[in-house]
Structure 1
């Protein structure tokens, strides 16, 4: 089990990133809530990780906070929730907001996430409530990701393909191509032509699940 990585962030293309650890590049998939908090490429980084082995692949998932990994590991134990859907959930909603949805029985907010239908939302609320309480997640305010927690978006160099990168990230998270394109176009109009992919993704996700 690979539980932690410490090295140089050498590439980030949401929702994937690469960390160089002593000359070995580890490909990691992360939730967007983690992505928003990443430093610039070339910086040192520590991520808590979860390693998944399948017949056709070996996958590594990374989290900026240990608590987010704890919720991820709890989510994938729920019936019908695999790592991909868990990452999608943690990308479209903060840990604190997910806890609130479970405690309040708020299926309406959960079904806005791709891959989460009404039955899945209801099942998540039933299965996760006791687990969340056992982990003490319901009272931890530190999980809430606010705008101040993210990196200074002005520090990101705008790239020509930021829109296509944002669209690809949303599609990878489970959104339909038409929905991803429309949401990114709306985000670009609202934020401006020089917006980074991270800014576009964040705006689009908030618009779709807010």
Structure 2
């Protein structure tokens, strides 16, 4: 049965409208009519949902070896990134959700397009080899529209001298690259004008 359905993966349910009945660690229970559907979702989606609130989720329906699982995303770009990530050999839905949960969409897309394996490897469960494989597979496939509007056409703007200085200072303090790179990059994306000292101070507050 699973083999006959696999061709319809991600085509059966394009989106889901319902009411959030429960929020769990890595999933939502969405009431749609008389049904309560468990929908696995990344952290950004879980954070914007509220119990009792109506929600529309872009969905990915996975059929694999007798397993049926529904994944949902409040944002279409998250859905797009998810579908690309699980197309990489060795990247399953769990790891793809971890990547989507660890950093904002423009930052994750920028890391792939820019070839920043260190930033990808800052996600728990993603080693350097896996990060390099993701970059190799997706660097020429990922739509540039996933980047922040001001970064399109010039991917390198996702990093800055201040961010690089902040990472270097934190490494000198004994923190590992996988600990600091993602934190600093997220901060720099939120505050592009922030200096190295500001980034270091805010990063330390998160790392401690």
1:7 aligns with 2:23: no
Root mean square deviation of aligned Cα: 2.1
Query: Aligned equivalents of 1:12 and 1:138: distance in 2?
Result: 29
Gapped regions of structure 1 (runs ≥ 5) = 142-205
**Which one of 67, 77, 88 corresponds to residue 87 of structure 2?**
77
Residue equivalent to 1:57: 67
Query: Aligned equivalents of 1:43 and 1:136: distance in 2?
Result: 29
Gapped regions of structure 2 (runs ≥ 5) = 1-11, 151-204
1:25 aligns with 2:61: no
Residue equivalent to 2:146: 137
SS in structure 2 opposite 1:18? strand
Moved over 3 A (4+): 138-141
User: Which structure has more RCO (C-alpha within 8 Å, separation ≥ 6)?
Assistant: 1
Q: Is the 8 A contact 2:22 2:51 kept in 1?
A: yes
Query: Aligned equivalents of 1:207 and 1:57: distance in 2?
Result: 37
1:138 shift after superposition: 3.4
Residue equivalent to 2:120: 110
Query: Aligned equivalents of 1:3 and 1:36: distance in 2?
Result: 22
Q: How many residues align?
A: 143
Q: Is the 8 A contact 1:9 1:41 kept in 2?
A: yes
1:100 aligns with 2:110: yes
Rg larger in structure: 2
- Which deviations, in whole Å up to 9, do the C-alpha atoms of 1:71-128 show, x marking residues without a partner? 1001111121111111111011111111121122211111121221111111111211
TM superposition score normalised by structure 2: 0.64
TM superposition score normalised by structure 1: 0.63
SS in structure 2 opposite 1:131? coil
